[in-house]
Amino acid sequence: MIGEYASNENQDSLNLIQNFMLIQGLYLFGVFDGHGNHGHEISNNARHFIPSFIHYREIEKAMDKKRKNLNTIMNSLIVSNEMGGYRNMNIIKYLYEKFTINPQDLLLAKCNNFNEISELLKEAFKMAQNNLINNMKTIDSKESGTTVCLNILSGKYLFVANAGDSRSLLCSYSNIKKIWTSHQLTKDHKPNEPDEQNRIISKGGNRFGKT
What gap in Å lies between CA 160 and CA 196, rounded to an integer?
Answer: 19
Ramachandran quadrant class, 22 (left: phi over 0; alpha: psi -120 to 50; beta: rest): left
Could you tell me how many helices (H) and strands (E) the chain has, helices first?
A: 6, 7
What gap in Å lies between CA 190 and CA 36, rounded to an integer?
Answer: 16
- Count CB-CB contacts under 10 A for residue 150: 25
Average pLDDT over residues 22-47: 92
* Residue 80: pLDDT over 90: no
Per-residue pLDDT of 110-169, as tens digits, reads 888 899 999 999 999 999 999 999 888 888 888 899 999 999 999 899 999 999 999 999
- Please tell me the pTM assigned to this model: 0.81
* pLDDT bucket at 211, cuts 50 / 70 / 90: very low
DSSP SS3 for 43: helix
pLDDT at 204: 80
pLDDT at 185: 95
